[in-house]
Amino acid sequence: MTNTLDPHHAVYVGSFDPPTLGHLDIVERGASIYSKITVGIGINPDKKPLFSAAERQQMLQELLSAFPNVEVKCFQGLAVNFVRECGGGVMLRGLRTLTDVEAEFTMSLANRALASDIETVFLMASEKYTHISSSLIKQIAQLGGDVAAEKLKVFVPAQVVEPLLEKFASKTSH
């Protein structure tokens, strides 16, 4: 456990199921601001993700390999505890919509009560990514038919399209 939290080390947590272009945009922009970014893939045992934690970690490591100051880890438990374990002084969050603002505001107040020495910093999503959500992506992958692969490239990195479509192909073949 690190005693001193580094204000130049930001930790960006989420489920990343699947990783989206919006996620990559936040990491890329964060990596230009902070000396180190840790991407934390949250593992919630009560949820049934599309991709396993190991699959998400592998995808993100490949997608973010061009950034030498970015690492990818998995974690369970409270995000603020993970940020502290990483030694980060900042929790980085992305905002897309006003609904996100309200939810993130509530979460940041709770995180502040749990760990007052960790700052939460918000980056607004780039305009072209504000409409992206994992539920939308999963619907396109599942119901998009022959055009799904082409349409998904607007929402997820090209390397994610095929694994995403394979997940739904395997679900329908059972």
Report, as residue numbers or ranges, the catalytic residues: 23, 47, 96, 134
Q: Please report the beta strands in the chain, taking only residues with DSSP state E, as ranges in sequence order.
A: 6-14, 36-42, 70-75, 88-95, 119-124
Looking at residue 55, what DSSP letter applies?
Answer: H
Given a contact cutoff of 8 angstroms between Cβ atoms, the answer to whether 102 and 90 are in contact is no
CA 112 to mean position of chain CA atoms: 20
Identify which of 86, 77, 79 has the alpha carbon closest to the alpha carbon of residue 108.
79
Q: What H or E segment, with its residue span, contains residue 25?
A: helix 21-33
Which of helix, strand or coil describes residue 67? coil
CA distances from 13 to 88, 99, 168 (A): 12, 18, 25
